[in-house]
Amino acid sequence: MKYEKLSKDILELIGGKENVNSVFHCVTRLRFKLKDESIAKTEEIKNLDGVVTVMKSGGQYQVVIGNHVPDVYAAVLAVGGLSGVSENASNDDDGKKVGLGAKFIDMISGVFTPILGVLAATGMLKGFAALILALHWVEATSGTYSLLNIAGDGLFNFLPIFLGYTAMKKFGGTPFVGMAIAAALVHPGLTALSAGKPLYTLFKGTLFQSDIHVTFLGIPVILMSYASSVIPIVLSAFFAVKVEKGFKKIIPDVVKTFLVPFFTIMVMVPLTFLVIGPIATWAGSLLGAGTIWIYQLSPIVAGLVLGGFWQVFVMFGLHWGLVPIAMNNISSLHYDPILATTTFVSFAQTGAVLGVMLKTKNKKLKSLSIPAFISGIFGVTEPAIYGISLPLKKPFIMSCIAGGIGGGIIGAFGSKLWMFGGMGIFAIPSFIKPGAGLDMAFWGAMIAIVVSFVLGFILTALFGFKDTASKEETKVETKVEVKKEEGPVEVVSPIKGEIVPLSEVKDQVFSSEAMGKGVAINPSEGKVFSPVNGEVTIMFKTKHAIGLTSEDGAQILIHVGMDTVELDGKHFTAHVNQGDIVKAGDLLVEFDVEAIKAAGYQVVTPIVVTNTPDYQEIKVLQAGQVDKNEKLLVLV
């Protein structure tokens, strides 16, 4: 349980296991579907050791972990007593209004994510077999090549069975029912049924012309090859869940175990062969032809656009929309040029990270760059994006430019993915065309790798970035420079307005000085400035209260208004984050005085010293009107 504490912290901060509808993981992220995202403490989760960042996209609450996400996922399941993706966790189970785009992304990621790891692994096996054949290390007729090729082809040939499981589970049905329907689609007996002279031909002379060899209850069956197909089984699973739920309502509990799957399979297998399969296959063929048509309008422009914006797509989860298209292309066309243009964008990001690593003087940033660089070589770029390039801004932009140019080169050479393989350097064999060896399209992809990497590095080195000390280094420097002298500590006014004695504040917690001694101000403008040099130690999510610790150790709480926590951050804008180092007079928070009053809340703002017992006396220096940065309190 190496990640037990991290897992407990994550679960606690997302609102406990009671707030989790489902959870699964991809290469680098824990993907939660929460009942109520608003109660998750996002900023606190971001600050956990072991968490890169938090993303909200596609109806999912995504905690980016990095390469060891499978171990953290296992720990989350163990600590929380969770079972991963719930069999009842469909898109609408939590009752939220989710947009169609978010639903689509959530559905695609839920269906395809569970198999991507093994799909990439088998693709790498197939790529390795193609590589050793191209290098003439083995003969095409050798048992070594044949077995490696079979190991790589196995999953893809029977892909519908795997998708039958994941799709049924995602849609809220019984996974093994989905597998049974898919198994019928790839049954070897279908080959014999399509042999011989057809009975007649349907849709003759059209794009949908089909020979009919068999009928079902007199209805013609359009036999097609569903090996390696994607869309037919996903659609079939979607409707199978509806059918299964219908039978569950009417079949007695005592016989549900076998009669529900019996009737579901009996209905869905013929329905899939008669209607869903042919329509989905035709749709898949049209989709493949459509994407190729768009690509062929200008492969270079397509590569520039997809390569340039790919990392942005990944950040927002939009890349999932292209994954089934690529898989469908490989199934129907036996190659894919779309994802090919984006495959080596990771090297552009890796080059940019190398530029940061060599140029920065920030020790923490340099130490983070090393593992991010290594991960990027193998195609995992989230640690580099969220930990380094995106916070620095310019390196991320430079990596997008380099990635776009690399994608344009791939488009220019007509390089294609011939299998769904690995990422980073493991994706290289995927560009070898079976039987063609190392042709110019392959070498074009290799040129794209080098150009993307070198450009990412050079652009970052040339255009640079704002290299600042880390928070930890800043804090150390601040503490070293502080010269604590004996004598009173001065606190300036954080707000412009009218002084109100703390005893007159209409809140007993403050008026009784239970929180500490101090004063209140009725603000005439909605701005809160830092009253001391020090650190923001508390920034409430609702932004209505700020806690600071001065260089001299004074702990100051500024609480804007009474009961304004109920506004949940509305009418407040924070200009600093918890942990920031500030100087007296720095703007901390802005708030709309009139809007808060109109909502029925007071805006009288207490400023109290929460570590009052550390001082002999706390003197209020002002009465009547006070301006910001005027001396307000003296702590003796």
Catalytically active residues, by annotation: 26, 559
Please report which helix (H) or strand (E) contains residue 32, including its range. strand 29-34
Residue 117: exposure state from Cβ atoms within 10 A (0-12, 13-18, ≥19): middle
- CA-to-CA distance for 288 and 337, rounded, in angstroms? 11
Bridge partners for 546 per DSSP: 539, 558
Residues 6+ apart with CB under 8 A from 64: 28, 29, 51, 52, 53, 54, 55, 382, 386
- CA-to-CA distance for 558 and 571, rounded, in angstroms? 17
The answer to whether 378 and 349 are in contact (CB under 8 A) is: no
Residues 6+ apart with CB under 8 A from 593: 523, 524, 525, 526, 603
Residue 87: exposure state from Cβ atoms within 10 A (0-12, 13-18, ≥19): middle
Helical H runs in 47-98? 69-80
Sign of CA dihedral 269, 274, 279, 281: positive
Q: Which of 603, 573, 610 is nearest to 588 (CA)?
A: 573
- Cα 252 to its chain centre, rounded Å, is 42
- CA-to-CA distance for 548 and 564, rounded, in angstroms? 19
> Residue 593 is encoded by which pair of tokens?
């005085």
**Alpha carbon of 91 to those of 11, 178, 256: distances in Å?**
21, 18, 25
Q: Which of 395, 375, 291, 365 is nearest to 333 (CA)?
A: 291
Please report which helix (H) or strand (E) contains residue 370, including its range. helix 363-377
